[in-house]
Structure 1
């Protein structure tokens, strides 16, 4: 979440008149994240999230995201639906951007999850994959493995302004991952971005799974690897106690059993996840407008994770 597009109180008040959810009381931009413009909106009837979709989210993909959320919500998952207006439309236009008014979910996101919290989040991911087995929507992963080499080329030697030798380091790691990338693993609809800040919790209870705007069709075990790479480390990329990482794998396995082939592929899938987030963070680091209300994320935190995975191939055994 972030704020790139500013919405005036007058425009937001007029926008809310399309709905039956009360009149505007207050709105506050949310700086966390890097993808879309988000506001916490309070009305006379309650609290909501307003999301304006920026350039990395195509308006043509929104029906897939919203259908996936509806599918999960119908099966009891704590996900935020986009609310329809009086005419039944969930996708609107505001300040020249596609926009949705979204349910607010209670709970807090974590900065340093415990073993129990990691276990609960991983079980939620496994249940999500299980219940998406009959979801018929599909979407290409625009930031999947095939996109990493072009993104590396786009960043180019500017990567070396972030850290000396970074371009060559990523180039070598990517070549190794490309050569070892698994084929034939089960695919389906995945979240692809289930970081701790996209899981809301109260204690060890998952109360919200949010921010599905990278959701796509890809290798299910890759989704687990993405989750492991974000939950098993602190914000600077240092590993948390090993029990946290083990809880991610075993919590998922308890809800959606891993095959031997999936478990064997997790080391290279995790290295790929590190490259994906290193490159997108680096691109944002190099290209985020100076006046954007957005918290840039350190690409080197994912270089440290990549180094760790390369040094610990036994992490998923």
Structure 2
């Protein structure tokens, strides 16, 4: 469920009148996603996405996100920039929410990517990292390493209500990862920080869209790849590692942006950090979201199982 704010047809028609996009033909809420309210909008001149930003997206961050998307779009990357109205304004307000009219991208998100699709998606991530070399804006990672300890403490003993021993396991892993986390010596740039399979649109093995940049920030470049690797390379429960997908991701990325020896050595640690980040955010939502809420809770244990895989890799290195 991802339509939290209802938009009457009359309000949407008046909103669209600010743009050179034709008149409203139809609008339909989009169920995918959990952060914002999204509508598929058809007009007499084409198809667009209307996004209303809900509480989890800070309106103060929107100029950064839109600037990054505009930069990537200008570089030829398949991303969905916001469309400015006749006055040149991209970030609007609709039904009491910040809102943007966004370019529609064709393609479908993936549930079970093939190695060829994984390789293409990782190549697209590398192209994105190359394209931001001259992007001058900066945003701290709101879900970066500084947030993990406070988030762990906010979850508290309730972690053991999810699974016995989870508090101790995540606490010990957090101590190990924070102590070893690289503070310098690695490239930093604007990263997506959430490039799960459902945030990549594809037609066959062609990437047609990189979407949902609302965690984008400045951080370690290959941490972005580690997040992607942890999201793509496992079955839904996190218990089964698909090495052919993991290998394809690394192969695709390195076809554009080869990893250094230091980056290869640090990769299991960075992937462990990615697993801790998503295990904790999912655990917090699990603890604080009622079971009958419209938003489907995501299982934090799926990332705890991934974490065990990467920690085993670190120990065997």
TM-score (norm 1): 0.94
Which residue of structure 1 aligns with residue 307 of structure 2? 306
Which residue of structure 1 aligns with residue 50 of structure 2? 50
Q: 1:287 to 1:245 in 2, by over 3 A?
A: same
Mean CA deviation greater in 62-71 or 162-171: 162-171
Mean CA deviation greater in 7-16 or 272-281: 7-16
Which residue of structure 1 aligns with residue 232 of structure 2? 231
Which residue of structure 2 aligns with residue 28 of structure 1? 28
Name structure 1 gaps, 5 residues minimum. none
Please report how far the alpha carbon of residue 27 of structure 1 lies from its aligned counterpart in structure 2 after TM superposition.
2.3
Please report how far the alpha carbon of residue 24 of structure 1 lies from its aligned counterpart in structure 2 after TM superposition.
2.5
Which residue of structure 2 aligns with residue 6 of structure 1? 6
Please report how far the alpha carbon of residue 251 of structure 1 lies from its aligned counterpart in structure 2 after TM superposition.
1.1
Which residue of structure 1 aligns with residue 242 of structure 2? 241
Secondary structure of 1:21's counterpart equals coil
- After TM superposition, the structure 1 = structure 2 runs for residues 122-133 of structure 1, keeping only pairs within 5 Å, are 122-133=122-133
Name structure 2 gaps, 5 residues minimum. none
- After TM superposition, the structure 1 = structure 2 runs for residues 128-277 of structure 1, keeping only pairs within 5 Å, are 128-184=128-184, 185-277=186-278
Which residue of structure 2 aligns with residue 284 of structure 1? 285
Please report how far the alpha carbon of residue 237 of structure 1 lies from its aligned counterpart in structure 2 after TM superposition.
1.5
* Aligned mates of 2:295, 2:43 — CA distance in 1: 24
* Aligned mates of 1:210, 1:281 — CA distance in 2: 21
CA RMSD of aligned residues (A): 1.9
Please report how far the alpha carbon of residue 137 of structure 1 lies from its aligned counterpart in structure 2 after TM superposition.
0.7
Report if the CA contact (8 A) 2:235-2:242 is conserved: no
Deviations 1:163-198 (A, max 9, x none): 222222211111111111112211011111111111
Number of equivalenced pairs: 316
Q: 1:85 to 1:292 in 2, by over 3 A?
A: farther
- After TM superposition, the structure 1 = structure 2 runs for residues 75-94 of structure 1, keeping only pairs within 5 Å, are 75-94=75-94
Deviations 1:118-146 (A, max 9, x none): 11011111111111111101000010011
Higher relative contact order (CA 8 A, sep 6+): 1
Report if the CA contact (8 A) 2:275-2:307 is conserved: yes
Q: 1:238 to 1:29 in 2, by over 3 A?
A: farther
* Aligned mates of 2:75, 2:36 — CA distance in 1: 27
Q: 1:288 to 1:61 in 2, by over 3 A?
A: same
Secondary structure of 1:206's counterpart equals strand
* Aligned mates of 1:4, 1:156 — CA distance in 2: 29
* Aligned mates of 1:284, 1:200 — CA distance in 2: 26
Which residue of structure 2 aligns with residue 15 of structure 1? 15
Report if the CA contact (8 A) 1:32-1:295 is conserved: no
Mean CA deviation greater in 289-298 or 124-133: 289-298
Deviations 1:95-121 (A, max 9, x none): 211110111100011111111111101
TM-score (norm 2): 0.94
Mean CA deviation greater in 116-125 or 10-19: 10-19
